[in-house]
Structure 1
Amino acid sequence: MSKPLRYLLAVLLPPVGVFLTYGLSISLLISIVLTLLGWLPGSMYAVWALVKHDENVGETT
């Protein structure tokens, strides 16, 4: 899936963006909990998680 689409989903539907990047993981659980507490914390976490994932993927290649 393309990066811009993942980031768009991370902003609009945070758990979906995190799921498409990490699959079933603790990051998904954190994203769901933060989104239930409010859309903004969920979106902020999702974007942060995607940025960190992209940084880590860039380091290994």
Structure 2
Amino acid sequence: MSSVDHEATPVESRGAGDGRRTGTETCCELLCAILLPPLGVFVRYGCGFEFWICLLLTFLGYIPGVIYAACVLL
């Protein structure tokens, strides 16, 4: 029996490879942002500054959270 070395091939990052988002990713993020604004921002930025601002605005009022999330995602 011979052992075969399986080298891990690098996996391309999702999207266009140059940092741009595809239309489907942006559409899904916007849908999440409309239903639950902090979720849409979290999907793209994680638990960063944008997420916490969006969460605060959503607590203050749903519409300001949706507007902020849409602006940040677009």
| Number of residue-to-residue matches in the alignment | 51
Task: Pick the structure with greater CA Rg.
Answer: 2
Paired AA for residue 58 in structure 2: T
The answer as to 2:61 corresponding to 1:45 is no
TM-score, scaled relative to structure 1: 0.78
More helix, by proportion: 1
| CA distance in structure 1 between the aligned counterparts of 2:68 and 2:35, rounded to whole angstroms | 12
Aligned to 1:54: none
Dislocated runs of 4+, deviation >6 Å:
none
Unaligned runs of 5+ in 1: 52-61
Q: Aligned residues: percent identity?
A: 41
- Return the structure number with greater relative CO, CA threshold 8 A, min gap 6: 1
In angstroms, what is the RMSD of aligned CA positions? 1.1
